[in-house]
Structure 1
Amino acid sequence: MALTFPRRAGRRRFTRRDLVVLGVLLGIPVLLDITVVWGPALASIGLSFTAWDGIGDIHWVGGDNYGNLVDNYPPFWPAVRNNVLWLLFLGLIATPFGLFLAVLIDRGIRFSRFYQSVFYMPVVLSLAVVGFIAQLVLGTDQGALNTLLGNRDDPVDWLGDSRLNIWMMMIAASWRHVGYVMILYLAGLKSVDPALKEAAAIDGAGERQTFFRVVLPTLRPVNVIVGVITVIEALRAFDIVYAVNKGRNGLELLSVLITDNIIGEAGRIGFGSAIAVVLLVVSLGSIVTFLVQELRGARET
Structure 2
Amino acid sequence: MPHATARRPRRRSARRFTRRDSAVLGVLLGLTVLLDLVIVWGPALASVGLSFTSWDGISDIKTVGGDNYEQMVSDYPAFWPAVRHNLLWVGFLGLVATPFGLLLAVVIDRGVRFSRFYQSTIYLPVVLSLAIVGFIAQLVLSRDTGALNAILANHDDPVDWLGDSDLNLWMVLLFAGWRHTGYVMILYLAGLKSVDPSLKEAAAIDGASAPQTFFRVVFPTLRPVNVVVMVITVIEALRAFDIVYVVNKGRNGLELLSVLITDNIIGEASRIGFGSAIAVVLLTVSLGFIVTYLVQETRGEKNR
Separation (CA, whole Å) in 2 of partners of 1:9 and 1:131: 57
| Residue 170 of structure 1, aligned match among 157, 160, 173 | 173
Paired AA for residue 291 in structure 2? V
* 1:294 CA drift (Å): 1.5
SS in 2 for 1:28: helix
Residue 280 of structure 1 corresponds to 283
* 1:14 CA drift (Å): 4.5
Residue 227 of structure 2 corresponds to 224
Please give the TM-score of this superposition, normalised by the length of structure 1: 0.95
Does residue 39 of the first structure (1) align with residue 42 of the second (2)?
yes
SS in 2 for 1:252: coil
Deviations, residues 63-121 of structure 1 (Å, cap 9, x unaligned):
00000000000000000000000000000000000000000000111111110010000
Judging changes above 3 Å, is the alpha-carbon distance between structure 1 residues 10 and 156 closer, same or farther for their aligned structure 2 residues?
Answer: closer
Please give the residue correspondences for 1:1-301 in structure 2 after superposition, counting only pairs within 5 Å.
14-15=18-19, 17-301=20-304
Deviations, residues 231-290 of structure 1 (Å, cap 9, x unaligned):
000000000000000000000000000000001111000000000000000000000011
Please give the TM-score of this superposition, normalised by the length of structure 2: 0.94
Separation (CA, whole Å) in 1 of partners of 2:261 and 2:77: 14
* 1:23 CA drift (Å): 2.7
Structure 2 unaligned residues grouped into runs of 5+: 1-9
* 1:10 CA drift (Å): 11
CA contact (8 A) 1:45 1:277 kept: yes
State the number of aligned residues. 295
Separation (CA, whole Å) in 2 of partners of 1:10 and 1:271: 55
Separation (CA, whole Å) in 2 of partners of 1:264 and 1:42: 22
Judging changes above 3 Å, is the alpha-carbon distance between structure 1 residues 56 and 218 closer, same or farther for their aligned structure 2 residues?
Answer: same
How much identity, in percent, do the aligned residues show? 77
SS in 2 for 1:161: coil
Deviations, residues 25-68 of structure 1 (Å, cap 9, x unaligned):
11111110000001000000000000000000000000000000
RMSD of aligned residue pairs (Cα, Å): 1.7
Paired AA for residue 73 in structure 2? V
Separation (CA, whole Å) in 2 of partners of 1:206 and 1:297: 26
CA contact (8 A) 1:142 1:152 kept: no
